[in-house]
Amino acid sequence: MGAADTKRLDKGQLEGEVSAYTDPLTGLGNRFRLRDKVLTLSQERAADPAPFTVALVNLDGFKPINDLFGSLAGDEILCQVAHRLQACIPGGATVTRDTGDEFAVILPLVFEAGSAERVGHLIKDVLSAPYDLGDRNVRLSASLGFAIHPFAGADFDTLMKSAETALYRSKRRGRGQITVYSSEIAQEMRRSTQLEQALRNAIINDAVDVHFQPIVALDDGRTLGFEALARWIDPDMGFVSPAIFVPLAEERGFIDTLSETLLHKAAEAALTWPRELFLSFNLSSVQMTDAATASRTLAILANVGLEPSRLDLEITETAVMLSAVTATNIISELRQAGVRISLDDFGTGQSSLGRLRDFTFDKVKIDRAFISAITTDPTCEHIVRAIITMCQGLQLEVVAEGIETEAEAELLRDLGCLMGQGYHFGKPVDAMATLRYLSRQYNNMSLIQ
């Protein structure tokens, strides 16, 4: 073999090695390059153990871009992200493309959490600027997770797992979040994972229950219906607040299973009440982005045998804002079937009046934050008065939430509010206790229809 042949082999071998370490789309290094860089830096710092940092950068909402505009547009955005990251990172840092819409940054001169957060804010701001796709611009945000060597892991795999844990926490907290790994965060994530598994098991074992709180006519105290509320008592943890486990189910992607299980239970309980009483049930924000929500809800009612006209579904302003078109279709399909729709927690959103204009509701529930101060804060009283007057003009029913005293109930009656719920009228109780409550109201008459 001649010298020329040897040179060709060496060149081909070198090109193969470069290719194996390079992301073909962006030209950045890949996961192999990332590993090599981290290992090399670890060895260099062994004698003088100065820390260094690894960051994971994940684009929020990238999948819909591919779905809406196609994979070529998605690839173009990824290439633009690669260029922006290379342009904004500190000197001596290295950017690689980890997987899909996730990038990694090695920061040799970032030694502690404060510096990591400052770099994170810089990257986040750079990546939030519009992306040019020729005939259109799109905006994205980015979530970041940082891990500092050697505190978050002395070897590559442990360090990257810590960065992934930090990134996952950022994604759970919403879009555009920054998290630097710590032992406290790791412990928090372990608790969440344990809680998730316990909740999944509770759903499988039918251990998540439904309690019911009465909604009454304020003029005479008659019960008009009940709101269904999820309750879970774990054998080890005891009572777990729905404010904890419902968002967890949303985050971990099984809120549909939880909600459908609870609606089935609640509808079966409602069959034992007098026919004139309605069942009020909450839909989550995630469900209002799923086009199949209406059909699944109606299927449960049909399976149980509860008339759709007896169901009030409560949704929040935040829920309808996430995907307005899908939410409009869901609301329309449910109302056509006879289900009534309530706007929950009214007054706490960014543009509630706009929601009343854009969506068709049957009822508005005034948030308890206003009711709790209605007798002591004139501003709250004026706000509640204005909401009631507005709803009367729009022919919407009004329910005041969180009534705890007779003074609050009396003032609401004077303001023209017709319906209310809260501890003043009854705490949430299970299905059997609800029947006993109704039996007293209906003078021990048989309630099962």
Q: Where residue 123 sits, what CATH number does that domain have?
A: 3.30.70.270
Burial of residue 11 (number of CB atoms within 10 Å: 0-12, 13-18, 19+): exposed
Shared domain check, 218 and 357: yes
Q: Extract the tokens encoding 292.
A: 């199949």
Tens of pLDDT, residues 29-57 = 999 999 999 999 999 888 777 899 999 99
Shared domain check, 70 and 215: no
DSSP track, 273-337 = S-TT-EEEEEPPTTGGG-TTHHHHHHHHHHHHT--GGGEEEEEEHHHHHHSHHHHHHHHHHHHHT
- Which residue shows structure tokens 């304020």? 218
Q: Extract the tokens encoding 386.
A: 């204005």
Shared domain check, 218 and 165: no
Beta strands 208-217 and 419-420 are antiparallel
Residue 355: predicted pLDDT = 61
Shared domain check, 94 and 229: no
* pLDDT band (50, 70, 90) for residue 449: very low
Shared domain check, 401 and 284: yes
148 or 189: whose pLDDT is higher?
148
Cα four-point dihedral sign 83, 86, 89, 91: negative
List the domain range (segments joined by +) for residue 255. Answer: 195-441
Shared domain check, 316 and 367: yes
Choosing from 181, 214, 237, the residue where a domain stops is 181
Beta strands in 31-154 (DSSP E): 52-60, 94-99, 102-107, 131-132, 137-138, 141-149
Q: Count up the domains in the chain and report the number.
A: 2
Shared domain check, 66 and 166: yes
CA-closest candidate to residue 391, choices 332, 348, 346, 433: 346
Residue 300: predicted pLDDT = 98
Lowest mean pLDDT: which of 4-13, 191-200, 217-226, 374-383? 4-13
- What percentage of the chain exceeds 90 in pLDDT? 66
**What single-letter amino acid sits at 244?**
I
Shared domain check, 222 and 171: no
- Structural domain contains residue 446: no
**What single-letter amino acid sits at 376?**
T
Choosing from 120, 147, 181, the residue where a domain stops is 181
Choosing from 133, 155, 181, the residue where a domain stops is 181
The set of residues, in sequence order, having a beta carbon less than 8 Å from that of 211 and lying 6+ positions away, is 228, 229, 230, 231, 428, 429, 430
Shared domain check, 48 and 159: yes
- Which residue shows structure tokens 């924000």? 285
Shared domain check, 325 and 421: yes
Shared domain check, 406 and 364: yes
Residue 432 sits in a domain of what CATH number? 3.20.20.450
Q: Extract the tokens encoding 166.
A: 């930090």
* pLDDT band (50, 70, 90) for residue 160: very high
- Structural domain contains residue 187: no
